């Protein structure tokens, strides 16, 4: 593998990194919106379930109980999916991520500005910094946000289907 110093970067390198960074930003915002939608839908279902329980003296039909439980679980997982995790200090490779506030929050303003200007002055090091940021954002999207959102939506959908089936079965009896 070539070292950064031996690599030559064309003018498109910065544009490619910028495009990837913007794509991750939009995917993260989309995941946040999806979580917000699911949280809203879950809270509507929970509100209806609690209202039904209070009207019935604390007792719910099994179908409504199932719907309330799955709505609660999906809301919980959706909230965890978008809950921020803040890791500060140097990364495992010794380089701080100066593109993320958690990577420089414990630095003084002078230290941050000096370090950032050093990286900006060295194009290969700057591109590596931005590429690492894109990679780290992608890891969070793939392994946390989208994975947990898929689980949350799956629980919600299964809960809806199971509740409809339970209502149908209880209506037949």
The pLDDT tens digits for 115-131 are 999 999 988 888 889 99
Asked if 118 and 98 count as a contact pair (C-beta separation under 8 A), the reply is: no
Residue 5 confidence (pLDDT) above 90 = no
Give how far the C-alpha of residue 52 lies from the chain's centroid of Cα atoms, to the nearest Å: 33
Give 65-81 pLDDT, tens digit per residue.
999 999 999 999 999 99
Residue 93 confidence (pLDDT) above 70 = no
Q: Give dist(CA 3, CA 42) in Å, integer.
A: 50
Give the length of the chain. 173
Q: Who has greater pLDDT, 93 or 114?
A: 114
* Whole-number pLDDT of residue 49: 87
Q: What average pLDDT score do residues 83-96 get?
A: 68
* Whole-number pLDDT of residue 57: 85
Q: What average pLDDT score do residues 3-26 get?
A: 81
Task: Return the structure tokens found at 145.
Answer: 């946000």
Residue 99 confidence (pLDDT) above 80 = yes
Q: Give dist(CA 112, CA 116) in Å, integer.
A: 6
Q: Give dist(CA 45, CA 68) in Å, integer.
A: 6
Closest CA to 32 of 158, 114, 149, 166: 149
Residue 91 confidence (pLDDT) above 90 = no
């Amino acid at each position: 593998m070539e070292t950064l110093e031996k690599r030559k970067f064309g003018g498109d390198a910065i544009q490619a990194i910028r495009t990837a960074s913007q794509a991750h930003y939009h995917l993260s915002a989309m995941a946040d919106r999806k979580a917000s939608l699911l949280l809203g839908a879950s809270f509507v279902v929970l509100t209806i379930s609690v209202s039904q329980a209070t009207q019935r003296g604390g007792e719910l039909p099994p179908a409504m109980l199932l719907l309330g439980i799955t709505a609660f679980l999906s809301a919980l997982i959706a909230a965890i999916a978008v809950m921020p995790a803040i890791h500060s200090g140097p990364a495992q490779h010794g380089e701080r991520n100066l593109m993320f506030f958690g990577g420089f929050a414990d630095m003084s303003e002078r230290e941050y500005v000096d370090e950032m200007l050093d990286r900006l002055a060295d194009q290969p090091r700057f591109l590596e910094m931005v590429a690492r940021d894109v990679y780290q954002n992608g890891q969070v999207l793939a392994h946390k946000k989208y994975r947990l959102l898929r689980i949350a939506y799956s629980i919600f959908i299964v809960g809806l289907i199971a509740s409809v089936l339970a209502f149908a079965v209880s209506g037949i009896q």
